Amino acid sequence: MIRFTKTLAALGLCAAASLAQAAETAICYNCPPEWADWGTQLKAIADSTGVQVPLDNKNSGQALAQLVAEQAAPVADVVYYGVTFGLQAQKAGVVGTYKPKGWDQIPTGLKDPQGHWFAIHSGTLGIMVNVDALGGLPVPQSWADLLKPEYKGMVGYLDPSSAFVGYVSAVAINRAMGGDLDNFAPAIDYFRKLAKNAPIVPKQTAYARVLSGELPILVDYDFNAYRARYKDKANVAFVIPQEGSVSVPYVMSLVGNAPHRANAEKVLDFVLSDEGQALWAKAYLRPVRQMKMPADVAAQFLPDSDYARAGVVDYEKMAAVQEAFAARYLNEVK
């Protein structure tokens, strides 16, 4: 009987430990370890707060679709996505409100006034190139270069109908080719031409594929290219196309009726904390809180004259026309 009682007590302790461990979890949709060095950020969150955030490889569109599907019984606690998806999530009523620590240091226009979403960092779109995988070809310097037959089968961009970076690619190319958010004809025409060059169009981040040389050229952000070059020591170049590009923010939200709200708040507080923002900076992202980039990191960026070719757009308008563009891309290109 004593042994039985001890066994029950031990089982009870294990169960309590398991429950405690489960309680220290926050589910984040679209926190992929290869993207924006989320792997390092999630480890720091666990070390600092005790909250474990499982890895998740959705893209922005997939994350939003899942939130909508689960609205009656939410699974996720927080979500990370491109700004237009944050605006769509707010419209869909799938996110709650929370103003994390550091809220006041987020510039106006990079947060919803009620706290439905807020930016944590931003990046500039361009062309990420594995130089060794080009086989001696020159590094492309423009959007027009990607259409050249010598790069056939070597160019990749993420699916514009699903991934935020893909949609940003469409907006950037469209703008560079003379279009605007009321006229996507230049982008559609460009993607049709690029389709003849056998592009690779994944839905999720293709960072590892660029490093391996499987995908020599990828339309992607500066932060991924710099991380590949300076941290992963790959012979990777980053180019802001001669015709121009755009810079955009990535945002986070508290999921409506989050099952682990207290833990979710800890995660959102951390990504805006001094430590969290410093980690984004070390990963070559521009922190949203107007913190100065470390000098050694800033020195590894392209010159300001290159970044002068990257502008910003109206994010609310960009969100409003996203669905129509995606439908047109699927009908006319894909």
| pLDDT tens string 51-68 | 999 999 899 999 999 999
CA distances to 36, 82, 216 from 31, in Å: 9, 12, 24
The alpha carbon dihedral of 131, 145, 151, 208 has a sign of positive
Tell me the per-residue pLDDT of 178-204, one tens digit each, with 9 for 90 and over.
999 999 999 999 999 999 999 999 988
Instruction: Quote the domain boundaries for residue 189.
Output: 123-245+302-331
128: closest CA among 35, 190, 252, 64? 35
If asked whether residues 184 and 309 sit together in one domain, one would say: yes
**Span 8-31, mean pLDDT?**
58
| Lowest mean per-residue pLDDT among 14-23, 27-36, 38-47, 305-314 | 14-23
* Residue 20 belongs to some domain of the structure: no
Strands 155-156, 236-239: pairing is: unpaired
> Do both 271 and 309 map to the same domain?
no
User: Is 8 a domain residue?
Assistant: no
| The two structure tokens encoding residue 326 | 């995606």
Residues 158 and 70 in one domain: no
For residue 5, being part of any structural domain is answered with no
Q: What's the pLDDT at 183?
A: 97
199 and 141 in a single domain? The answer is yes
- Tell me, yes or no, if the pTM score tops 0.75: yes
How far apart CA 249 and CA 315 sit, in angstroms, is 9
Residue 35: pLDDT band (50, 70, 90) is confident
Same domain, 185 and 103: no
> 205 and 184, same structural domain?
yes
- C-alpha triplet 43, 215, 148: angle, nearest 5°: 140
Look at residue 317 in the predicted model and tell me its pLDDT.
Answer: 97
The Cα–Cα gap between 53 and 49 comes to 11
Q: Are residues 239 and 251 in the same domain?
A: no
Q: Is the pLDDT of residue 29 over 60?
A: yes
For residue 13, being part of any structural domain is answered with: no
Q: Looking at the structure, tell me whether residues 116 and 128 fall in a common domain.
A: no
pLDDT, position 51:
98
Return the SS3 of 284.
coil
Same domain for 306 and 202: yes
Residues 205 and 77 in one domain: no
Q: Is residue 1, in this structure, part of any structural domain at all?
A: no
Looking up tokens 């969150």 gives 45
Say if CB 202 and CB 119 are below 8 A apart.
Answer: no
Number of domains in the chain: 2
Report the pLDDT value the prediction gives residue 292, as an integer from 0 to 100: 82
Together in a domain, 211 and 279: no
Q: Give the C-alpha separation, 212 to 17, whole Å.
A: 41
Q: List the structure tokens of 58.
A: 């959705």
Phi, psi (degrees; rounded to nearest 5) at 77: -110, -40
Q: How far apart (Å, rounded) are the C-alpha atoms in residues 88 and 90?
A: 5
Same domain, 281 and 238: no
**CATH number, domain with residue 221:** 3.40.190.10
